[in-house]
Structure 1
Amino acid sequence: MKRALLVTGLVGMLVVGAGVPTMAISDRGSTSLPGTGARVEVTAWQCNAYSDKCSFKTSTKTMKGGTRFKVSKISNTATVKANGWQATLALSPSGTQVSESTRRVSWTNQNTWIADVSGIADPGGSLNTSITTCSDGGAFTSGVKAFASACAND
């Protein structure tokens, strides 16, 4: 997994909270979609620092030679986890509760090249709470499928 810091342009869309951070954390992963020449690219972004809430966004895309590659079905699942002693997590959109500290939100599209999920994480329970945002994506077309994952954490 690679960590990257994205500067201000993207951050304005990703950051919510009392203190506005100047950077976001991201991670990406990819794999080939067999027999198509295309790749499934998955990305996870989240705010780098926050005082109350933290924005997140996950994405799955299919690309071929730098251009969009339409598939039969493409999905993305965002898993957001609050890390820390007795950590809890509220999420908007609420998603599926995996545990007190973890929520999962999924989106699936058909006959297109992209599936995204975004929202606001509201961690609680500890002064030392941090957030981890994972993106799991899959694409399906012409009888082949491929999956990729990425996780961003502070």
Structure 2
Amino acid sequence: MKRALLTSGFVGMLLAGTAVPTVAISDSGSTKLPGTGATIEVNAWQCNVYSDKCSFKTSTKTKKRGAKYKVSKISNTATVKANGWQATLSLSPSGTQVSENTRQVSWTNQNSWIADISGIADPGGSMNTSITTCSDGGAFTSGVKAFASACAND
């Protein structure tokens, strides 16, 4: 798995504020879809610096030689967790509550090459709360299936 820290620029200075770098954390994973020559690519992205809420995005894609590869069924599950003492989490879209600090959102497409999810995480609890975003993906076609996962955390 690869982990990358992406810097996309600076937020302009406000009269009462200071410049804050805009950064994101990402991770990716991949596996072969047996007998097809295709690969499943799973990605997870989230903000790294936030004061209130944090955006996230996950995706599962199937590709063959760099091009989109349509499968019978492709799915993605985003698991977002707030880390920290007495951490809590609200999520948009709300998803399924796994625990007080963890939510899951799933999406499945038929006859497609991609399934993706994006939203906003709102962590609460202690002052030292951080977020972890995981992406679990799977694809099925012609009687074969494969799964991959990735987790982005700060």
* TM-score, with structure 1 as normaliser: 0.91
Runs of 4+ in 1 over 4 A off after TM superposition: none
The equivalent residue for 1:16 is: none
> Is contact 1:21–1:50 with CA below 8 Å preserved after alignment?
no
Check 1:67–1:55 CA distance in 2 against 1; reply closer, same or farther (3 A cut): same
Equivalent residue letter for 1:122: D
Structure with the higher fraction of residues in strand conformation: 2
The equivalent residue for 1:44 is: 44
Structure with the higher fraction of residues in helix conformation: 1
Question: 2 CA distance for matches of 1:77 and 1:99?
Answer: 16
Question: 1 CA distance for matches of 2:74 and 2:143?
Answer: 13
Check 1:20–1:139 CA distance in 2 against 1; reply closer, same or farther (3 A cut): farther
> Is contact 1:21–1:47 with CA below 8 Å preserved after alignment?
no
The equivalent residue for 2:56 is: 56
Question: 1 CA distance for matches of 2:123 and 2:103?
Answer: 11
Check 1:40–1:128 CA distance in 2 against 1; reply closer, same or farther (3 A cut): same
The equivalent residue for 1:84 is: 84
Question: 1 CA distance for matches of 2:60 and 2:145?
Answer: 13
The equivalent residue for 1:146 is: 146
Structure 1 gaps of 5+ residues are: 13-18
- What is the count of residue pairs matched by the alignment? 147
- Any residues of structure 2 matched to 1:2-151 within 5 Å, and which? 2-8=2-8, 21-151=21-151
* TM-score, with structure 2 as normaliser: 0.91
Check 1:33–1:123 CA distance in 2 against 1; reply closer, same or farther (3 A cut): same
Superposition deviation, residue 5 in structure 1: 1.6
Structure 2 gaps of 5+ residues are: 12-18
Superposition deviation, residue 23 in structure 1: 1.4
Percent identity over paired residues: 84
Question: 1 CA distance for matches of 2:26 and 2:132?
Answer: 10
Secondary structure of the structure 1 residue equivalent to 2:78: strand
Question: 2 CA distance for matches of 1:21 and 1:52?
Answer: 15
> Is contact 2:7–2:21 with CA below 8 Å preserved after alignment?
no
